[in-house]
Amino acid sequence: MPLFKNKKETQKQQPTEIKKAKGRRAKTAQQSIPYEEMYPNGMIKIGPGLFSKSYYFGDMNFATEKEDKQEEILKSYSKLLSKYAPNVTAQFTIFNRKTSADKIKEKFFLKPKNGSGLGRTEDEIEREKRQQEYRDEYNTILENRIKEGRNDIQKERYITLTLKTTDVIMANRTFITLDEETNNAVREINKTGVRPLTIEERICILHDIYKVGEEDFFPSLLNDYKDDAGEFSLEKLSKKGLTTKDLIAPSNYMNGMAQVQLGEHNFAKTFLISNFPTAMDTSFLSEITNIPSDADRRR
């Protein structure tokens, strides 16, 4: 559940259909996943009249900014929340996702340019040798950092908007407007804005939450359900008698009194912070999100 809510969000909801859903106990791991349907554009139907869409939110070094800049960011954040109508809820998620050292190297290691030495002058070849020395030195430093610390945790930030409306057609129309409004508002905060997540990206995020330890293998498994253009296809998935929940559900699921078991060896526990002081240090959230573990932190 969100850690921080504005007054508008707290006073409205919960819908009747959500309250009813709480009384039903999941009989399968798939039924424990709280949504009804996914759509090709990345939108999810949570329940009757409830639709959500998630957006990737780039990095922002709030704690290192000067005080006047921090105040400016907070004003922009408040402005963002005030943009949404009463039927729209904004939820911010900081997701610590585990990734392998090989993937980190693949993403951040400097690589030589393509091409052979044919047709190049001696000066160009000598310049390339010096550049390769710099690349090797940089890659060695990065590799040592990976070995020294817990750098297999990748911190990702998302905004999820939940919309209460009549049907999927109206939801699509509304989200087209919300896409642009959210991007423009967030650009005032991080200068880069946001981008809507694709259906494949949302499936991968949910998979990594429910099936910890299998993150590296899942993207390649999705290739079986892609069309000729290389896009994830719900139609191909359906032809094989599967739903998106079948892809992301853990091998077993048990909701205990104190914790939830996901699969054979993974356990999850939820902590809710409901009361906050009138003033807090800016390092509060960063200290929580920097805990080196797979975690989903929402506010």
Domain extent listing, the chain: 7-99+152-292, 100-151
Quick one: tokens of 161?
Answer: 């908007």
* 3-state SS, residue 160: strand
pLDDT of 281 reads 72
The whole-number mean pLDDT for each consecutive block of 10 residues of the chain, a chain of 299 residues, reads 38 39 64 91 96 88 73 84 91 77 68 65 83 86 68 77 96 96 89 92 90 79 91 93 91 68 72 76 69 57
pLDDT of residue 296: 56
Residue 197: partners with Cβ closer than 8 Å, 6 or more residues away: 42, 53, 54, 55, 56, 158, 205
Is residue 56 within 8 A of residue 156, CB to CB? The reply is yes
How far apart (Å, rounded) are the C-alpha atoms in residues 262 and 253?
5
Residue 274 makes CB contacts below 8 A (sequence gap 6+) with: none
> Could you give the C-alpha distances from 75 to 66, 81, 186, 194, in angstroms and in order?
14, 10, 12, 18
User: Can you tell me the distance from the alpha carbon of 23 to that of 10, in angstroms, rounded to the nearest whole number?
Assistant: 22
Residue 193 to residue 96: CA distance in whole angstroms: 21
74: helix, strand or coil: helix
Neighbours of 196 (CB within 10 A): 19
E strand or H helix at 92: strand 88-98
Rounded to 5°, angle at Cα 169 from 168 and 175: 85
295-298 and 88-98 strand pairing: antiparallel
Task: Give residue 87's pLDDT.
Answer: 96
DSSP 170: H
Q: List CB contacts of 67: < 8 A, sequence separation 6 or more.
A: none
4-8 long-range Cβ contacts below 8 angstroms, 24+ apart = 4/92, 4/299, 6/81, 8/86
pTM over 0.75, yes/no: no
The rounded distance, in Å, linking the Cα atoms of 189 and 191 is 6
CA distances in angstroms from 121 to 95, 116, 129, 130, listed in the order given: 49, 12, 13, 15
Residue pair 78/285 in contact by the 8 Å Cβ criterion: no
Give the C-alpha separation, 237 to 233, whole Å. Answer: 6
214 class by beta-carbon count within 10 Å (0-12 exposed, 13-18 middle, 19+ buried) = middle
